[in-house]
Amino acid sequence: MYEILIIEDDKALSNGIRLALQREDLHFMQVNNLFEARNELNRTQYDLILLDINLPDGNGFIFLEEIRCLMQVPIIILTACDMETDIVTGLELGADDYITKPFSLMILRARVNTQLKRGTVPKDNNFIQMDEFRFDFDTMEFFKRGEVLNLSRIEQKLLKVLVFNKGRTLTRNQLMDKLWMEEAPDEYQKKYCGTAKGGRVISDFYWHHSCQGNLSPSGFLEEIGRKVIYSIL
């Protein structure tokens, strides 16, 4: 059974997409904003995401970046943004396909089938064996040479982001995004704000985990990183 997440604020269109794609081996979840989408991705491992760009609580391009920092699930953008620059932006940020509205349901069906045939990350890939290290992200158990590594919850989340993005360069802001979204998805939008130019502001979560604000955001991240590295060396 393939799990497909439809992120579309037009409920009539969302229902139409589901009906057009419906078959026995597909299961759909429909959400109409990014807040609900984040919660869904925190609960379920999806095989395909259909993503609108203009959503009531945020920009789909920014959300696409967030997803790509955590997972390599296939993503098809479905949007009325048909400018060449928008298409290039979506593909460069990691979208697997880009379809502009209005679109043919037959073409959508063919492109969805293509992405599903290519396959996604295996369902059991939360178990990682790397030389002398063994990481189980389902049970949150971590071992080195058979000995248990004791990591805090946030250290576990940071390790997961780094392991699943092996070979990729992540900015501090991307790491902070992922730590915050995974640690408290329901509070993500309430307590986290910022812009690409203005940097990031973290309130309650950062304050608690940085010894009452004595560390800068970058220092906070570096301190966690050092603890994770020291724990597994």
Q: What CATH fold (topology level) applies to the domain 2-118? A: Rossmann fold (3.40.50)
CATH 1.10.10 intervals, the chain: 127-232
CATH 3.40.50.2300 intervals, the chain: 2-118
User: Cβ distance 102 to 81 under 8 Å?
Assistant: no
pLDDT score of 139: 82
User: Cβ distance 110 to 87 under 8 Å?
Assistant: no
pLDDT 10s digits, 121-142: 444 456 776 667 778 877 888 8
User: Cβ distance 97 to 77 under 8 Å?
Assistant: yes
| CATH C-level class of 127-232 | mainly alpha
Ranges in the chain, pLDDT < 50: 120-124, 184-218, 220-221, 224, 229, 232-233
pLDDT score of 25: 92
In the chain, % of residues over pLDDT 90: 40
pTM of the model: 0.57
What mean pLDDT is reported for the chain?
75
pLDDT score of 194: 35
Q: Which amino acid is at 181?
A: M
User: Cβ distance 165 to 69 under 8 Å?
Assistant: yes
pLDDT 10s digits, 56-77: 999 999 999 888 877 778 999 9
pLDDT score of 199: 29
